[in-house]
């Protein structure tokens, strides 16, 4: 459908209502003038330039055209949802060096469905019992490092398991018992834990315990998409709506064939399971796939340079103001993208709330708060023409506040 046609369709109901009895609804709509509706202004919503990042609260990322095209194409026909997961899952798996894959409703959903699959195996009755594991004969303990116990591990607890935290390899060995269902690792917390990927896997394999890694936001580099399969993790979870810019409500669970099949037993279209509320339909599945393909085919060195060049434009503008320091901060494992910290000498510039001023200005700009009232800026969610705007607005705010 062309954009104009979509707009026409969106416009259909109110117009039809206002036209009254003059012919059938269809004729009325065809006769009606095209009214361009803007959802944001219609609902009184503030839109903004996103110099912050792909955060859920900021509505994630903007989908690439490829993903939007896939949604439009996929919306035209019916097909069986299981077939879509089979076919798209197989393609995703081959791109990711995995045996099998499925599209989930975000990485959180990948964690939950992967966990449920580990617990149920291919037993639908067990799937129907999750999260009530007591007396079910289902293993109910998941081991992870203390440093890896972030809020996202709640996805596992949703399945009724108990999280057992350990610090050392010796503690890990001691914690493993016949009730251990899985060993869970969070990639971005790796440097905070004593046990690294290889050792974690070695101990898991020794005891034949399935492993899962959460690498939801750890792109780029794209190699992370297959690295953990190559290492030997049984299940890998990633977000589709972060750097990859598929639908914000998608993710990928990839890994061992039997475990993906088991996870699907816990997901739509099947009901009477924990995942029934985590539905992804064909539109999102295809859109995620095309976003993934594009992401893998992108020249990431060139893209990285573009992100850095943008950072330089903003850094130069900010630091042209006397007393301002603009520094690129060290990369983390999570959200691994160039990030600029902008701080200022408080005796030269009286500015307590730069982030708020940027938000409340026109155009509105979202940045991250940094230490001590400073701000952090990223450039991967900016459109090309927004870079200069961000640079200028930050410079203006700083200049205005000079004493
Ligand atoms: C974002 C994130 C998730 C959740 O991903 P969604 O795709 O938003 O469901 C899980 N784990 C980590 C480490 C994340 O950063």
Q: Ligand 1, atom 12: nearest CA belongs to which residue?
A: 216
Ligand 1 pocket member 238 (CB < 6 A): no
CB atoms within 10 A of CB 334: 17
Q: Is 349 in the pocket of ligand 1 (CB under 6 A)?
A: no
303-331 pLDDT per residue, tens: 999 999 999 999 999 999 999 999 999 88
What percentage of residues in the chain have a pLDDT greater than 70?
Answer: 91
Nearest to 264 by CA among 130, 157, 117, 128: 117
Least confident of 18-27, 78-87, 281-290: 18-27
- The 3-state DSSP class for residue 376 equals strand
pLDDT of residue 99: 98
Instruction: Flag whether pLDDT at 10 surpasses 80.
Output: no
Q: What is the CA radius of gyration of the chain?
A: 24
Atom of ligand 1 nearest to the CA of 60: 8
Pairing of the two strands 100-104 and 251-255 = antiparallel
Does the beta carbon of 217 sit less than 6 angstroms from any atom of ligand 1?
yes
Helix (H) or strand (E) holding 84: helix 81-95
Judged by DSSP in three states, 337 sits in coil
CATH class for the domain made up of 300-400: alpha beta
Tell me the mean pLDDT in the region 42-49: 96
Q: Where in the chain is the domain with CATH 3.40.640.10?
A: 78-297
User: In whole angstroms, what is the distance from residue 354 CA to residue 253 CA?
Assistant: 40
Contact 394, 342 (CB under 8 A): yes
Ligand 1 atom at shortest distance from the alpha carbon of 239: 7
- Is 90:82 a contact under the CB 8 Å cutoff? no
The rounded distance, in Å, linking the Cα atoms of 235 and 155 is 14
Model pLDDT, residue 333:
73
DSSP 193-222: SSS-HHHHHHHHHHTT--EEEE-TT--SST
The alpha carbon of 214 and the centre of ligand 1 are apart by a number of angstroms equal to 8
Mean pLDDT of 201-218: 98
Which is more confidently placed, 83 or 37?
83
CATH 3.90.1150.110 residue ranges for the chain: 300-400
Atom of ligand 1 nearest to the CA of 334: 15
Q: Taking residues 87-103, what's their average pLDDT?
A: 98
The alpha carbon of 7 and the centre of ligand 1 are apart by a number of angstroms equal to 33
Pocket flag, ligand 1, residue 114 (CB < 6 Å)? no
Question: Quick one: which atom of ligand 1 is closest to the CA of 150?
Answer: 13
pLDDT band, very low/low/confident/very high, at 34 (cuts 50, 70, 90):
low
**Does any ligand 1 atom lie closer than 6 A to the CB of residue 153?**
no
What integer pLDDT is reported at residue 331 of this predicted model? 86
Q: What's the confidence (pLDDT) of residue 18?
A: 38
Type and span of the H or E element at 252 = strand 251-255
How high is the pLDDT of residue 12? 42
For the domain made up of 78-297, give the CATH fold.
3.40.640
- Pairing type for strands 339-344 and 324-328 reads antiparallel
- Measured CA to CA, the distance from residue 204 to residue 199 in angstroms comes to 9
CA atoms of 182 and 129, how far apart (whole Å)? 18
339: CA distance to ligand 1 center in Å?
20
């Amino acid at each position: 459908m062309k954009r104009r046609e979509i707009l026409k369709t969106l416009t259909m109901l109110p117009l039809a209502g206002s036209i009254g009895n003059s012919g059938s609804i269809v004729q009325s709509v065809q006769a009606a003038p095209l009214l361009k509706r803007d959802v944001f202004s219609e609902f009184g919503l503030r839109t903004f330039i996103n110099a912050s990042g792909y955060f859920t609260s900021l509505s994630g990322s903007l989908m690439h055209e490829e993903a939007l095209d896939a949604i439009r194409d996929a919306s035209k026909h019916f097909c069986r949802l299981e077939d879509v997961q089979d076919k798209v899952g197989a393609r995703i798996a081959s791109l990711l060096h995995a045996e099998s894959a499925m599209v989930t409703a975000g990485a959180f959903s990948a964690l939950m469905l992967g966990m449920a699959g580990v617990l149920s195996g291919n037993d639908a009755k067990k799937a129907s019992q999750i999260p009530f594991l007591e007396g079910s004969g289902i293993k109910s303990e998941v081991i992870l490092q203390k440093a890896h116990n972030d809020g996202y591990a709640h996805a596992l607890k949703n399945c009724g398991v108990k999280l057992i935290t350990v610090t050392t390899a010796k503690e890990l060995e001691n914690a493993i018992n016949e009730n251990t269902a899985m060993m869970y690792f969070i990639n971005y917390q790796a440097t905070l834990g004593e046990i690294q990927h290889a050792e974690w896997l070695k101990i898991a394999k020794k005891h034949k315990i399935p492993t899962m890694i959460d690498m939801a936001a750890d792109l780029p580099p794209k190699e992370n998409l297959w690295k953990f399969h190559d290492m030997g993790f049984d299940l890998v979870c990633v977000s589709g709506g972060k750097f990859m810019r598929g639908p914000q409500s998608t993710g990928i669970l990839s890994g061992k064939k039997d475990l993906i099949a088991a996870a699907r037993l816990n997901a739509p279209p099947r009901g009477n399971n924990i995942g029934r509320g985590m539905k992804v339909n064909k539109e999102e599945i295809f859109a995620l796939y095309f976003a993934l393909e594009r992401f893998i085919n992108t020249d990431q060195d060139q893209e990285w340079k573009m992100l850095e060049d943008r950072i330089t434009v903003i850094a130069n503008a900010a630091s042209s103001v006397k007393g301002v320091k603009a520094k690129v901060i060290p990369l983390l494992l999570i959200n691994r993208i160039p990030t600029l910290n902008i701080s200022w000498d408080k005796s030269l510039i009286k500015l307590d709330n730069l982030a708020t001023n940027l938000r409340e200005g026109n155009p509105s700009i979202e940045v991250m708060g940094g230490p001590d009232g400073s701000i952090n800026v990223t450039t991967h969610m900016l459109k090309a023409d927004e870079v200069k705007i961000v640079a200028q607005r930050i410079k203006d705010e700083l200049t205005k506040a000079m004493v």
